Structure formats: C-alpha cells, structure tokens
A and B are shown apart, each in its own frame.
Chain A
Amino acid sequence: MKRILYILSLLLIAVMPVRAGEPKAEDESVDVKGIIFEHLKDSYHWHILSTNNKEISLYLPVILHSKVSGWHFFMSSKLGHEGSYEGFRIAKEGAYAGRLMEVMPDGTELKPLDLSLTKVALGIIINCLLLCVIVMSTARWYRRHDATEPAPGGFIGLMELVIYMVMDDIIKPSVGKEYKRFAPLLLTMFFFIFLSNLMGLIPIFPAGANVTGNIAVTLSLALVTFFAVNLFGNREYWKEILWPDAPIYLKIPPILPLIETIGIFTKPFALTVRLFANMTAGHSIILTLTCLIFITAKMGPMIGTPMSAISLFFMVFMNFLELLVAYIQAYVFTMLSAMFIGLAHPEHEHKEKKEIEN
C-alpha cells in the first residue's frame, strides 16, 4: 500500500508541469473529440511528440492515383498545415474526412486511389516485421533442436506455452478433425491480432499505430477467414447452405438458402466489426481519461490535482483492462474463425447424426 501511494505521488509530481505550463492556452478549450479522433484515425504523418514550440513527426510518403491526373508521389511534409498539395486537399468532413481528395476545377472533391504509406500502413508493416522476427526466431530454435532435448525456457518457452494454449483451447476443439491443416493460419492470425493489439497500447513511436482499430485491417483479417472457410469448405457445407435438411416449402421459394447465403457474408462482417469496435472503444476510453487531465487542469489546482490523480488511476486501470481485451479479442477472433472453419467441414457430424437417426 505504501508503495502504491509512493508511486501515485510520484506520478502526481509528473503531472504537475503540465498544469503549470497550461495557463498560456487558457483561452483555448481542449478539443477532446479532435484529440481522440486524431489518435484513432489514420493519418499521413506519424506524430511522435509535441514540445512547447514544435512538433516532432515522421512524415510518410503519399502515393495517389487519380483518374484525372494520373500518379502522384510526394512526402506528407509537403502538405503543411493547410493539408493541400498538387491539387489535393485533406477533406475536413464527409465520408472521407481526413483523407486526401482531388479538388476538381468546379470545386467538387474526387476520391483518388490512395496507396499512401499512412500511419496505419506503416504500423502494419512494423507489426508484420516484428511478428516475423518473433515467430521465425522461435521457429529457428525448434529447427536447431531435436525432439529428445529438454523443452525450451525463457521467451521461446513462453511462445510455446501461448501457441499450445491457442492450439489446445481454440483450434483443436473448434476446427475438429482437420485442425492440423488450419492450425498455422489460425496461429498466425492470433499472434498478428494479439501483437497489433499490444502495439496499439504502447504510445511511443514504433508502436502506437491503431492497427486493429482500423476497419480495413479487421476487414482484411476477416477476409482471410472468409476465404479459409469458403475455399476449403467441403460438399456437405455447400449442401447445407444451398439445400439444407429442411421442409421443402422452406426451400422451393429459396428462403433458407437465401438466409444461409447471407450468413456466409455476415460471419466475416461480424468478425470485422467486433474487433474494430472493441479496440476503438478501449482506445477511446483511455484517450478520454487522458484528456480529462487537461480539461480539469484548466479548472485550477484545487480540482485539477485530485481529478488528474483519479484520471491517472483510471488510465492505469483501463490499460490493464485493455491488456486483457487485447488478449481476449485475439482469442475471440481466432476462436470464431476456427469455429467457422470447423463448421465448413460438417461431414463427420452429419454422418453421426444420420447414424443416430437410423
């Protein structure tokens, strides 16, 4: 308890300078929504930190293809504060707010094909490389050691523990008989999501991109599941979709087949939204609590100091909760993917059912 108090008081001291430096901005109100969305959304540069006078950002390449003016390559530093360059402008509002739009001569905006290496794209690449390094270095140990040697300790032992937790808890029971075929894919999926979730929680540069809170990323992961399910689904699976065991009047106007067909697409959609929404919500809460410090700091030291302490406490709590969520969401995504794959191989169960009926 003493130690906790000690740490809290230390953290309070760390918060003080922020409060002291604030008065000059007293006339500006804190734009909570703007801050949160700035962190949640993708951007063309990677903001690392702000000092009193300048902001340190990593500027990323912008790659655009417009139907009107063809390919454009430039660094995002050229966009400047206005956010416009070479006839492109960052949209302030609308469906593509925050993305670069081509300004037509008549003033309308046209969405170009945007292949820019954005913050999220760079985050994806960093996470992918990190994942590759982690897993391949683990695999290297296994390649260099014999099965008769004692089990590894340390990090590799931890990896083995997690891999076999996923294997035994998720993959084996959910996929069923053919689990070995899909295990590597599902393991990769689990580790990618888990690592990305964790990286999203670390606020400093190489980490910190909101990868799994980006709907395009979760959509891609769900697409992997979608293809794994539908490309490797067996005949029974397609039969259950197109001609299920149901009364004939449910099939002749194809009500059930229609529902089942929609089901093919709702499954990955649910996966997409679940992961995206969970990560977005977690990040939003942490960011809101962070902003709370800056808001209450304006109300003077009497309110600001205890509120900052409370916010800090909740931020720590939320971060722990997010650690849990990072794991749970990776677990859930992998488990649902494994279950969908398992459902696409119903032959075994079907035969058993028939045997029982007979």
Chain B
Amino acid sequence: MDLLNPEVGTLIWMLIAAGIVFFILVKWGFPVITDMVDKRNEYIDKSLDAAKQANERLAGIQTECDELLKETRAEKARILKEAADRRDEIIAEAENRAKESGEKIIADAREQIRLEKEEALRSLRRQVAELSVQVAERVVLKELSTDDDQLLLIDRMIDDVKTGK
C-alpha cells in the first residue's frame, strides 16, 4: 500500500526543514530555557537555604534574648535583695548607734545628775552646817553658862554630826 511507502521527496524535505529547525532549537532554543530554569531552581534552592538559615539565626537570637532577659531579671532580683539587705543592715547599725549614743547620753546625764545632786547635797549640808553653826552660836551664846552642860552639849553635837554623817 502506498500509504506505507515512504516517499523520498518528503523524506528529503523533512530532513532539510526539520534538520534546520532542530539545529536552531537545539543550539539556541531549548538550552537557553533549560539553563535559565536550572539557574532559577538553583537560586530558589539557595534562597530557601538562606531563609532557613536566617530563620534559625532568628530563633537563636530569640533564645539569646530570652536568656538575656532571664539573666537580667535574676540580676535585678539579686540587686534588689542586696539593697534590701544593705538597708536592713544600715537600719540595724543606725539603731545600734542610736541606742549606744542614747545610752551614753543617759549615762552622762545620770552622772551629771549624780554630781549635781552631790553638789546640791554638799551645798545643802554646808548651809545646814552654817545654819547649825549659827543656831549653835546662838544656843552657845545663850547656854554657855555652865561648863558641864557645855561640854555635854558639845559631845552630843559631835556625836550627832558623826551619826548624821
């Protein structure tokens, strides 16, 4: 059957026309497209890698941040605690000092009071003695008539003074 009979003329036309087109497309057509698409695929792969790395780094930064924050919080707590301690210490010290100085003041005051009391007592005694002497002078002036009485009185007075002391 003629349909199954390859015609030489058609074969030649086909080989020439298709040959030229095949040559053009094989040389300048498809390689351009495939090269570019391969390059793009490479670029996409690279971009994906870069994005992955960036994500990883971002996650790293996030954890770093969290850690830093945690550390800072701990530091803050520590400082606060320290400050509180220090405050307590200072207050305690101040209290101690105040107490000490208070006690000292009180002691001084007591000493002063004691001294003044003594002074007062002394001056009182002197006054009493002076008064006594004056009284005695007057008594003596009046009663100095009898010697016996006089001597007895003097003795008694000396005793009085002794016991009074």
Contacts and interface: CB of A to CB of B under 8 A. Distances in A.
B10 A136 contact: no
A61 to B, nearest CB: 12
Interface string A134-153: 01101100110101100100
Contacts of A136: 24-25, 28-29
Contacts of A180: 34
B9 A147 contact: no
Nearest to A159: B33
Contact of B10 (A121, A138, A139): A121
Nearest to A147: B39
A99 B7 contact: yes
B125 interface: no
Interface of A: 37, 40-42, 63, 94-99, 113-118, 120-121, 124-125, 128-129, 131-132, 135-136, 138-139, 142-143, 145, 147-148, 151, 159-160, 163-164, 167, 180, 183-185, 187-189, 191-192, 214-217, 219-221, 223-224, 280
A108 B72 CA distance: 110
Given A136-B28, A280-B3, A128 B10 contact: no
Nearest to B13: A121
A138 B33 contact: yes
Given A135-B29, A139-B29, A220-B18, 16 more contacts: A95-B2, A114-B9, A115-B12, A118-B10, A120-B10, A120-B13, A121-B9, A128-B21, A131-B25, A132-B29, A151-B40, A184-B26, A184-B30, A188-B22, A189-B22, A220-B14
A278 to B, nearest CB: 14
B28 A128 contact: no
A37 B31 CA distance: 40
Interface in B38-77: 39-40, 42-43
Contacts of A184: 25-27, 29-31, 34
A161 to B, nearest CB: 11
B interface, over-half SS:
helix
A113 B21 CA distance: 24
Nearest to A117: B13
Contacts of B141: none
24 contacts: A40-B3, A42-B10, A99-B2, A113-B8, A115-B12, A121-B10, A125-B13, A125-B17, A132-B24, A136-B29, A138-B29, A142-B33, A145-B36, A147-B39, A160-B37, A163-B33, A163-B34, A184-B30, A188-B21, A189-B22, A216-B8, A217-B10, A220-B15, A220-B18
Nearest to B34: A183
A139 B33 contact: yes
Nearest to B15: A220
Contacts of B40: 147-148, 151
Contacts of B33: 135, 138-139, 142, 159-160, 163
B164 interface: no
A160 B5 CA distance: 37
Contact of A142 (B7, B8, B15, B32): B32
A114 B5 CA distance: 14
Given A124-B17, A147-B39, A95 B5 contact: yes
A136 B28 CA distance: 8
A124 B18 contact: yes
B161 interface: no
Contact of B30 (A63, A139, A143): A139
